[in-house]
Amino acid sequence: MSLFGNEQVYGVRPEGGGAGREIRVRGLRREFKRGGGRVHALQGVDVTFAPGSFTAVMGPSGSGKTTLLQCVAGMDRPTRGAVHWGPTEITRLREHKLARLRRSTVGFVFQAYNLMPAMTVAENVVLPTRLMGGRVDRARVGRVLTQVGLGGCEKERPGRLSGGQQQRVAIARALYNQPEILFADEPTGALDRNTGREILRLLREGVEEHGRTCVMVTHDPLAASFADRVLMMTDGELVEDLTRPSAAVIAEKLGGLS
């Protein structure tokens, strides 16, 4: 359902940018069988993420925010409804076509870094590309590592890096294919406050300097305050749509949902 019957779209593609895609979600429902009944994780969600915008999605545990991210990112199939990335309705694509589109269009950052400890930093960055049979551009590896503050660390092993540095490697991996869309699920959840701020600045930079569309799930009001827009969910529905709110406003609104 549209918020308050009048859906709003925020975010302006930065001048000189051009990487972002609009994401349109219409009538999204996701149901799961549980015991003898059904759980309605998403209940007719309508929302548009403008190209070159940074949106945070929040809500209490079980509100549907992670399910929404997974469906919008093409990692889970909704029970009903449609998701468009630009002109393409991904909910109609066969799995192999969706996988190909994800590889060329989308980057993912998660709370768990998912790095291979036996591989070097550079090898971790290009691992998804290698698994899909793509060509590796060593110069690009160096550029993305420099972009995230890890220039010269190509030959290091993840185990020798701090948690913040490992998350930077994960971001470099997500950025390697120059995605139009970046999805982030609790990207700062395992980090200290200062390191988390650095990671959020990197995500913000991708929006402002490269026009990337970023959608992030977080439980942290401070993290959400880095976004242009904050959506709040409860019981599978969008119930708040805030434009550039402060961390204090976000915390107050979130407290009212718990």
**Lowest mean per-residue pLDDT among 83-92, 102-111, 240-249:** 102-111
- Spell out where the chain has E strands: 23-34, 37-49, 54-58, 80-85, 88-89, 106-110, 181-185, 213-217, 229-234, 237-243
Q: Is the pLDDT of residue 11 over 60?
A: no
Q: What tokens appear for 163 in the block?
A: 């948690």
Q: pLDDT tens-digit profile of 41-89?
A: 999 999 999 999 999 999 999 999 999 999 999 999 999 999 999 999 9
Q: Half-sphere exposure of 34 toward its Cβ, with a 13 Å CA cutoff?
A: 7
- CA nearest 197: which of 220, 176, 219, 166? 220
Mean pLDDT of 18-36: 88
Question: Which pLDDT score is estimated for 19?
Answer: 55
Mean pLDDT of 230-255: 97
- As beta bridge partners, residue 234 has 237
pTM of the model: 0.86
Q: Half-sphere exposure of 42 toward its Cβ, with a 13 Å CA cutoff?
A: 27
Question: Which pLDDT score is estimated for 246?
Answer: 97
Contacts of 208 (CB under 8 A, 6+ apart): 14
Cα torsion at 199, 200, 205, 210 (round to 10°)? 90
Collapse the DSSP code of 226 into the 3-class scheme (helix H, G, I; strand E, B; otherwise coil) and give the result. coil
CA–CA distance, 151 with 8 (Å, rounded to integer):
40
Sign of the CA dihedral with 112 first, then 113, 117, and 119 last: positive
Mean pLDDT of 92-111: 91
> How many CB atoms lie under 10 A from the CB of residue 41?
24
CA–CA distance, 218 with 211 (Å, rounded to integer):
21
Q: What tokens appear for 188 in the block?
A: 């700062």
Q: How far apart are the first and last CA of the chain?
A: 21
Q: Average pLDDT, whole number, for the chain?
A: 89
Q: pLDDT tens-digit profile of 169-197?
A: 999 999 898 899 999 999 988 888 888 89
Mean pLDDT of 205-210: 92
Sign of the CA dihedral with 184 first, then 4, 228, and 195 last: negative
Task: Sketch out the chain's domains with CATH numbers.
Answer: 21-257 (3.40.50.300)
Q: Is the pLDDT of residue 37 over 80?
A: yes
